[in-house]
Amino acid sequence: MYSSISSSSSRGGYGGDGGDMDMDMNMNMNMNMGMMNMKPAWLERLMVETFFGDCGVHKNQRKNEKNIFCLHCCLSICPHCLPSHTSHPLLQVL
């Protein structure tokens, strides 16, 4: 039998004197910045929205609690409002 697994082919030319070890420190710092202080607008609106109130548009219908939030319109909506928001990103509040 003759099986040769050539795993150590890429290690050819390099010698043994490494010296680039402390590069990693700076990398990590930059990664964590950025995302932290960004609060999307819809999220702020979501905080002040009152959920589970009656939908003003569908007062006379059953099950008109506004338990869905439309991220596109920044609005809380009831199930009856759904058809006008089907193409919008929605957030179901349970």
Binding site for Zn ion (CB under 5 A): 55, 57-58, 70, 72-73, 78, 80-81, 85, 88
Pairing of strands 68-70, 90-92: antiparallel
Of residues 43 and 72, the one with the C-beta less far from Zn ion:
72
Of residues 22 and 62, the one with the C-beta less far from Zn ion:
62
User: CA 15 to CA 90: how far, in whole Å?
Assistant: 57
2 to each of 35, 42, 48, how far by Cα in Å? 54, 64, 71
Nearest approach, Cβ of residue 56 and Zn ion (Å): 7
Of residues 13 and 83, the one with the C-beta less far from Zn ion:
83
